[in-house]
Structure 1
Amino acid sequence: MNMETLKLFLDIASLKSISKAAQKSHITQSALSQQLKSWENTLGSELFVRSNKGASLTEAGIIAEKYAEQICKLYDDMVTEINHLQPTQHELSIYAIPEVCNYALPCTLYEVKKHFPNCHITLNEGASSLVEERLLLEEGDVGFISGPSPKSELCSNMVFSDQVMLVASSTTVCPDKITLNELPKYPLIWSSQLHCVQRALNNISAGELKLNILFNLDSIEAVKLAAIRGHGVAFLPYMSIKKELYSKQLKIIHIDQFQVNNDVYMVKKHNQRCDNDTKQLIRYIEKTLIDTLC
């Protein structure tokens, strides 16, 4: 038994799947199964009940998980203290939805670097589902998604809310205010990334509103560019269009009695295994985020 085996065991327990744990560690499922079987033979007890639904801990497995977490934490603390003897660069991996990744976090991360000059931060863009997946696989330390996560393995904390607005090119002839029922009159450039807009429309119209969607784009920047060129109207987060509104490239079309807010949540994995320096970085981001957003 070694530290690698312990961490692989904890991965299986967390993901409830030998195949997912093998995928995370980039080893074959058969190799991981052999390591697990060897450790079970050493302990003289089966640690998991295997089924088509995955792997769940036995009573012995629950005990093993408790002590394996303690051992891994002690080991990580030891490595951290030893690393403190010499200057090292600490890693922080962040996953965030596009609007947060591109328009909100860069200023925050600039402040983080000023206070933690030896940290290396990786900022990755992805949809909420991808962010959750990466955190569960522990490929990311912290994430930012739209709305709270339904995953029980993740804890969610709302950090800010950004209004999503209907906009058009300043050269487009259209009223400053419309009703929701008038929205289908206008060609709409749709972004599949803004799930909050679809949720808000479904809540108020029960799916009965037939939008005039011209085309669907994955990139918020592409949607914004198409709107600026007058190809149609578009729903866009305020944080992504502040400059264009100020320079009068875009204008807001208010919808009577309809408002969309994109509630952004910071998510982390419960009982996440990371060193004290990473925890300190995450705490600093939590503390200063609101005051340092772009």
Structure 2
Amino acid sequence: MDLRHLRYFLAVAEEGHFGRAAARLHIVQPALSMQIKALEDELGGPLFIRTSRRVELTEAGLLLQAEARRTLEQVEHTRQTIARSLRGETGRVRVGFAGNAIFSGKLTRHLRQFHQRYPDADLVIEEVGPLQQAAAILAGQIDVGYTPDNPTTSAPGIKAQRIGDWTLLVALAEDHPLAAHADLTLDQLAGQALILYDAHDAHEPLYELLSHRLGNGFSVARRSSSTLSVLAHAAAGLGVALVPAPLQQVRIPGLTYRALKAPELMANLVLISRLEEPGHAVQAYLALALGSE
């Protein structure tokens, strides 16, 4: 007994007539009669009482009618469930992010758009340091990462796509001597205790540019993977921080921002994922996020 037999059986049961059922199924009546006869032979008895005008269900036929409807409904439910999964409408997407993904609005916009389009998909969001995101993706702990570009984003098995670039600002305490200036130059940062992100290591372009431009005046006092930690250190007067321009909307008591006249220094944001991503929900999320840029 296969699903085709059940569909044929239900058509005859609902129409009460082989000719009308055959027309509904778009097959010839003799072929339909042969299929019903084969089903009856397989089950071991008659399913219909045949008269000159119509056919009626036997007791066994009535039982099969109920079971066939349940079976076909379950098959259709299964088909729709799998189809939705393949389209990315269900499933889970685990997103790791660094702070500037939030403050730039990129992350929240992507999350909102995905949730609106795929409300039954599960979104899991957590803050993950820039240098830890690629390893977390490869280990299967998260699926997508929002991070400044850094050496880990070129790791084997990782796909990285840039989704944002911003100028840099100087974040510093309101009573810092440099706060008296409306904007600052790189030369004015020479000798200052700099607060950098962990991602800005010795092989990262921003670090190399600062080292080259400031020479002996290049001094890194503190590092942190957390945006709020970087800003807190600056507000406490423990150094000056170089931060992406979108962070100026973050108001912290005692902290102020100054423009940096150094267009060659830029902050960026990349979206990273597995090079070969098997998850359909994750594929849908990436397509939406990258398509909105």
Between structure 1 and structure 2, the one with the greater Rg is 2
Residue 191 of structure 1, aligned match among 193, 197, 202: 197
**Counterparts of residues 145-164 of structure 1 (less than 5 Å):** 145-147=147-149, 149-164=153-168
Using structure 1 for the length normalisation, give the TM-score: 0.57
Inter-partner Cα distance in structure 1 for 2:265 and 2:79: 44
> Cα 1:213–1:265, aligned 2, differ >3 Å: closer, same or farther?
closer
1:173 aligns with 2:143: no
Deviation at 1:221, TM superposition (A): 0.4
Residue 241 of structure 2, aligned match among 214, 223, 234: 234
> Cα 1:190–1:133, aligned 2, differ >3 Å: closer, same or farther?
closer
> Cα 1:80–1:178, aligned 2, differ >3 Å: closer, same or farther?
farther
Q: Which residue of 1 aligns with 2:32?
A: none
Inter-partner Cα distance in structure 1 for 2:249 and 2:224: 20
CA contact 1:95–1:140 (8 Å) conserved in 2: yes
- Structure 1 gaps of 5+ residues are 1-78
Inter-partner Cα distance in structure 1 for 2:203 and 2:244: 10
**Counterparts of residues 109-258 of structure 1 (less than 5 Å):** 109-147=111-149, 149-174=153-178, 175-195=181-201, 199-203=205-209, 205-206=211-212, 208-244=215-251, 249-255=255-261, 257=262
Inter-partner Cα distance in structure 2 for 1:133 and 1:146: 15
Larger deviation, residues 203-212 vs 141-150: 203-212
Give CA-to-partner distance per residue, 1:59-85, whole Å, 9 cap, x none. xxxxxxxxxxxxxxxxxxxx8854458
CA contact 2:138–2:274 (8 Å) conserved in 1: yes
Name the SS for the 1:244 alignment partner. Answer: coil
- Structure 2 gaps of 5+ residues are 1-77
Inter-partner Cα distance in structure 2 for 1:217 and 1:130: 13
> Cα 1:286–1:238, aligned 2, differ >3 Å: closer, same or farther?
same
CA contact 2:144–2:273 (8 Å) conserved in 1: yes
Inter-partner Cα distance in structure 2 for 1:130 and 1:181: 33
* Aligned-partner residue type, residue 93 of structure 1: R
CA contact 1:196–1:261 (8 Å) conserved in 2: no
* Aligned-partner residue type, residue 97 of structure 1: A
> Cα 1:195–1:205, aligned 2, differ >3 Å: closer, same or farther?
closer
> Cα 1:196–1:101, aligned 2, differ >3 Å: closer, same or farther?
farther
